[in-house]
A and B are shown apart, each in its own frame.
Chain A
Amino acid sequence: MASTAAKVGSGRNKTFMAILIPVLVLFCAFNTFPLLTGFFYSFTDSKGYGAFNIIGIQNYLDLFSDARVLNSYLFTFKVAVVATLATNIISLMLAIGLSSKIKFKSALRGIYFVPRILGALVVGYVFSYFFTYIVPAITGSESILASTEWAWVAIVIVVVWQACAQTTIIYITGLSSVPEDVYEAGSLDGAVGWDKFRYITFPLIMPSVTTNMVLVMKDMLMVFDQIVAMTSGGPAQSTESISYLIYNNGLSGGQFGYQCANAVIFFILIAVVSILQTKFLNSKEEQL
Chain B
Amino acid sequence: MAGLSLEHVGKKYPNGYEGVKDFNLEIADKEFIIFVGPSGCGKSTTLRMIAGLEDITSGTLKIDGKVVNDVEPKDRDIAMVFQNYALYPHMTVYENMAFPLRLRKVEQSEIDKIVREAARILDLEKLLDRKPSALSGGQRQRVAMGRAIARQPKVFLMDEPLSNLDAKLRVQMRAEISKLHDRLGATIIYVTHDQTEAMTLGTRIVVMKDGVMQQVDTPSKLYSEPCNLFVAGFIGSPQMNFIDATVGEAAGKITLTFGSNTVTVPDSKAAALKPYVGKVVIAGIRPEDVVEEHEYAEGKTLSEKIDATVTVYELLGSEAMIYGDVDGGQISAHISATNPVRTGDAIKVAFDVDKLHVFDKDTELAIVH
Contacts and interface: CB of A to CB of B under 8 A. Distances in A.
A179 B99 CA distance: 18
A189 B90 contact: no
B114 to A, nearest CB: 14
Interface stretch (A138-146, A148-156, A195-203): A195-203
Counting chain A CB atoms within 10 Å of each CB, the highest count among B53, B80, B89, B90 belongs to B90
Interface string B72-92: 111010111011101111100
Contacts of A199: 88, 99, 103
A55 interface: no
A199 B100 CA distance: 11
A185 B82 contact: yes
Contacts of B53: 184, 187-188
B133 interface: yes
Interface in A149-200: 179, 181-182, 184-192, 195, 199-200
A192 B86 contact: no
B74 A185 contact: no
A199 to B, nearest CB: 7
A200 B88 contact: yes
B103 A287 contact: no
A288 B84 CA distance: 13
A188 B74 contact: yes
Given A188-B80, A189-B100, A189-B151, A204 B89 contact: yes
A286 B95 CA distance: 14
Contacts of B83: 181
Nearest to A287: B133
Given A190-B100, A195-B103, A199-B99, A185 B86 contact: yes
Contacts of A204: 89-90
Contacts of B133: 287
A189 B99 contact: yes
A195 B103 CA distance: 8
Nearest to A180: B86
Nearest to B134: A287
A189 B153 CA distance: 10
Given A195-B103, A199-B99, A287-B133, A188 B79 contact: yes
Contact of B90 (A184, A190, A195, A286): A286
B74 A192 contact: yes
A200 B95 CA distance: 12
A190 B88 contact: no
A199 B95 CA distance: 11
B89 A288 contact: yes
Contact of B73 (A179, A187, A195): A187
A199 B103 CA distance: 10
Interface string B49-62: 00111000000000
A188 to B, nearest CB: 5
A238 B144 CA distance: 58
A190 B86 contact: no
Nearest to A186: B88
Contact of B74 (A187, A203, A288): A187
B89 A287 contact: yes
A185 B89 contact: no
Contact of A203 (B51, B90, B100, B103): B90
Nearest to A187: B73
B104 interface: yes
Between A181, A182, A190, A203, the greatest number of chain B beta carbons within 10 A of the residue's beta carbon is seen for: A190
Interface string B282-320: 000000000000000000000000000000000000000
Contact of B84 (A179, A188, A286): A179
Interface string A111-140: 000000000000000000000000000000
Contact of A188 (B51, B87, B90, B131): B51
A179 B80 CA distance: 16
Interface string A193-233: 00100011001100000000000000000000000000000
Nearest to A189: B100
Interface in B32-61: 51-53
A184 B147 CA distance: 14
Nearest to B77: A188
A105 B243 CA distance: 55
Interface string A66-89: 000000000000000000000000
A187 B52 CA distance: 9
Contacts of B90: 203-204, 286
B75 to A, nearest CB: 8
Nearest to B79: A188
A179 B52 CA distance: 18
Contacts of A192: 72, 74
A200 B90 CA distance: 8
Interface string A222-250: 00000000000000000000000000000
Contacts of B103: 189-191, 195, 199
Contact of A181 (B86, B100, B104, B131): B86
Contacts of A288: 89
Nearest to B48: A184
B104 A182 contact: no
B308 to A, nearest CB: 49
B82 A190 contact: no
Given A181-B84, A287-B133, A188 B89 contact: no
In the complex, the 4 A-B pairs of residues with the closest C-beta atoms, listed nearest first:
A189-B100, A286-B90, A190-B103, A181-B86
22 contacts: A179-B86, A181-B83, A182-B89, A184-B80, A185-B80, A185-B82, A185-B87, A185-B88, A188-B51, A188-B52, A188-B73, A189-B74, A189-B100, A190-B74, A190-B100, A191-B103, A203-B90, A204-B89, A286-B89, A286-B90, A287-B131, A288-B89
Interface of B: 51-53, 72-74, 76, 78-80, 82-84, 86-90, 99-100, 103-104, 131, 133, 147, 151
